[in-house]
């Protein structure tokens, strides 16, 4: 009887430690994964569903990672695969998805004046809108390169595309983005 209570206590402590570790992972990666999913799907609910499914896969598989970078790359890859799964769904193929206009917002830098903060927020919103208008393949690599600051080699591994393909898509995406921003927002 005493042994059973001791093992139950150890199991509950072990479970609490696992839950705490999972919560740290969620706190660390959820915003980044949500931004990736939102940029791909243009819909809050779908993006939230994909992030939730990503963490479910993380818990379900109990994957061991060599480094934090490997863990981050795995989570990004699972998120992108989840977005692709949504795109392939019958509902998504037959529905015109309209963005709800609520872009994920970044954190402002402390000490900025009110005017600078408002201008920066508006500029970021305009850039995000221009990125959202890009074709999916360019949107994906631009977001991973600029917003997640991954190298071309890392993007290649995550998206399972050759490095030369990623480089070409980045170049073409930049050109389209530059053209769109000049036309629509008169950026020089």
Give pLDDT tens digits along the chain (188 positions).
445 556 667 767 777 777 888 888 889 899 999 988 888 888 888 999 999 999 999 888 877 888 888 888 899 999 988 988 887 776 665 555 544 555 555 444 444 456 666 667 677 777 777 888 888 889 888 888 888 888 899 889 888 899 999 999 999 998 998 888 877 655 44
Task: Tell me how far apart the 2 most distant CA atoms of the chain are, in Å.
Answer: 77
Per-residue pLDDT, 96: 54
pLDDT digits (tens, 9 = 90+) for 101-155: 555 554 444 444 566 666 676 777 777 778 888 888 898 888 888 888 888 998 8
* All domains of the chain in start order, with CATH: 2-93 (1.10.1740), 114-180 (1.10.10.10)
Give residue 6's Cα distance to chain centre: 42
Among 106, 89, 179, which Cα is nearest to 143's? 106
Question: How far apart are the two ends of the chain, measured CA to CA in Å?
Answer: 77
Q: Considering the entire predicted model, what is its pTM?
A: 0.58
Per-residue pLDDT, 4: 57
Among 185, 43, 31, 45, which Cα is nearest to 107's? 31
Q: How far apart are CA 28 and CA 98, in angstroms?
A: 29
**Dihedral, CA atoms, 79, 81, 87, 91, nearest 10 degrees?**
-80
CA dist 26 to 2, 70, 81, 113, Å?
36, 16, 18, 32
What is residue 51's three-state secondary structure? helix
Residues 6+ away with beta carbon under 8 Å from 145: 152, 155, 170
Q: How far apart are CA 29 and CA 151, in angstroms?
A: 18
């Amino acid at each position: 009887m005493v042994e059973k209570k001791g093992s139950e206590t150890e199991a509950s402590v072990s479970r609490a430690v696992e839950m705490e570790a999972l919560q740290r992972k969620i706190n660390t990666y959820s915003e980044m994964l949500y931004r990736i999913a939102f940029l791909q799907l243009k819909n809050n609910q779908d993006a939230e569903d994909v992030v939730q499914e990503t963490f479910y896969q993380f818990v379900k598989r109990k994957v061991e990672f060599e480094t934090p970078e490997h863990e981050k790359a795995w989570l990004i890859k699972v998120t992108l695969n989840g977005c692709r799964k949504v795109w392939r769904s019958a509902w998504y193929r037959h529905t015109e998805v309209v963005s709800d206009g609520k872009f994920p917002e970044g954190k402002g830098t402390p000490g900025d004046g009110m005017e600078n903060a408002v201008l920066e927020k508006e500029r970021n919103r305009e850039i995000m809108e221009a990125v959202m208008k890009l074709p999916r393949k360019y949107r994906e690599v631009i977001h991973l390169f600029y917003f997640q600051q991954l190298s071309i080699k890392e993007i290649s591994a995550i998206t399972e595309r050759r490095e030369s393909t990623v480089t070409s898509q980045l170049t073409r995406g930049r050109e389209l983005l530059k053209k769109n921003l000049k036309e629509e927002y008169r950026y020089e």
